[in-house]
Amino acid sequence: MSVPIRFNAQNTLKSAVGDHGIETTDLDPKAALDALIGFRARVDSGEVGFPNLPLDQNTAKSVERFAADLRGEVESVLLLGIGGSALGPYALDTAIRGPHPVQVDKKRSPRLYVMDNVDPDFVSAFLENLNPKRTAVCLITKSGGTAETLSTFMIVHEWLVKAIGGKKAGRRIVAVTDDRKGDLLAIAKAEKYQTFYIPADVGGRFSVFTPVGLLPAALCGLDIKKLLHGVHDANTASWSRTLETNPAMQSALVHHALDTKRGKKIEVVFAYSAYLWGSAFWYRQLWAESLGKRINRKGEVVHTGQTPVAALGVTDQHSQVQLYVEGPNDKMITFWAVEKPRTDLKIPVTKQFLQYDSCAYLAGKKLSSLFQAERMATEAALTEAQRPNCRWTLPRVDEYYIGAFFQLLEFQTAFCGELYGINAFDQPGVELAKKISNGLMGRKGFEEYAQKVGPKKQMIA
């Protein structure tokens, strides 16, 4: 079945936004087919594995079994991870159960806490607020050696052992890491932690449908079968060689053309759903780290990539929209719209407020109508100001549609990588800073990197 999530790029066309828009001839079907064939070859050769994830039913089943056993014992799941090892689980949880400060889905406990920072104030606050006797720890790092994750792991391990003893702590810590290498793999074996694996051909930011995302989701009571069903349907649509039935490819072509032909170097993702706000941060990493590259596959210096910006509708209408409508015309705006909210509210008809113009026209209307009208108005205002904008529409936000939507966005990113001719699956630009910080912290073998922060070798106690 093809996936019922729609991509609409009408307002990116010249007919809608004048010279800042693209023409249908800019969306080259031959380039699209080449990109699809090129990406398919990478998947078939084993270089890139994310499209194969829905085929792995066994992992999903063992994750579900493990989660079902542990869930009743705990009230909190503390996730230790960063980047691709944290943003996906956070995005899934907030999309399905709601933004963290107001999560209302009491039926599905435990709560998820994502410790993806080493700011000591942040880490201390977590530990003060969680009950170690009722907490499970998901320790996630693909490389197995990320400084942020291993430092918080050692702190949390001590906190847990002090409270419940080493033996019990060992049963409450579950590791997710590469299936072949890395220190976490060795630690998990030595400490006999339950371990789930990330396939070698699935990189961090594409790993949300490996145990990286599935395990916290299952622990928190999300329906991972439904999630993978959506992923599967998005795969079917994304391998379609017919452009009209392949929304991920349509979107890739539009993004690529607006960047390379119209200089839209920034993409604002305008999520008109508070539940999709967390997903915008997951997407921000996917888009930035995959496509922001210095060289192309031929080794030429190209400096590709759009800068992704996350915005929340309607909140950011009163914060960012002035810039988007009247500031530099260097952006494209992508709306994420949802057709049907889970709940709706009617604005009451309250007699004493009807005499006020600002209240009278709102009284009796559905809050969802106002929400939708504001999105439509923002789209219209941007179009009038010749700002190209497009829209993804999800019928609802549930596990099926989230699985499908995220997978479409991963395909869109992979296709765009092919269109730019770059490797969307590496991240050489983050390596140097990692090495320098290792050097500054006194890691053996990294001494020379410490010197990059100044003339003298510097060490941090």
Residues that bind ligand PA5 (CB under 6 A): 82-85, 141-143, 146, 149, 203-205, 289, 427
- The nearer residue to ligand PA5, 202 or 274, going by C-beta atoms, is 202
How large is the C-alpha radius of gyration of the chain? 23
Q: In whole angstroms, what is the distance from residue 154 CA to residue 188 CA?
A: 13
Q: What is the distance between the terminal CA atoms of the chain, rounded to a whole angstrom? A: 58
434 is catalytic: yes
- The nearer residue to ligand PA5, 88 or 110, going by C-beta atoms, is 88
CB of 43 to ligand PA5, least distance (A): 18
Strands 6-8, 389-394: pairing is: antiparallel
CB of 67 to ligand PA5, least distance (A): 20
Helices (H) and strands (E) in the chain — how many of each? Answer: 18, 10
Strands 194-198, 135-140: pairing is: unpaired
244 residue type, one letter: E
Tell me the residue number closest to ligand PA5, measured at CB.
204
232 residue type, one letter: H
CB of 32 to ligand PA5, least distance (A): 26
- The nearer residue to ligand PA5, 142 or 256, going by C-beta atoms, is 142
Among the listed residues 181, 226, 229, 434, the single catalytic one is 434
CB of 285 to ligand PA5, least distance (A): 6
Tokens of 57: 């039913």
Tokens of 435: 């090495």
Torsion angle in degrees (nearest 10) through CA of 176, 182, 183, 188 = 40
CB of 434 to ligand PA5, least distance (A): 8
- The DSSP line for 204-238 is GGG-TTSHHHHHHHHHTT--HHHHHHHHHHHHHHH
- The nearer residue to ligand PA5, 82 or 332, going by C-beta atoms, is 82
Among the listed residues 64, 148, 267, 289, the single catalytic one is 289
Cα dist. 5→238, 277, 337 in Å? 12, 18, 10
Among the listed residues 107, 318, 444, 456, the single catalytic one is 318
Judge whether 48 and 39 are in contact, CB under 8 Å. Answer: yes
User: Which residues participate in catalysis according to the annotation?
Assistant: 289, 318, 434
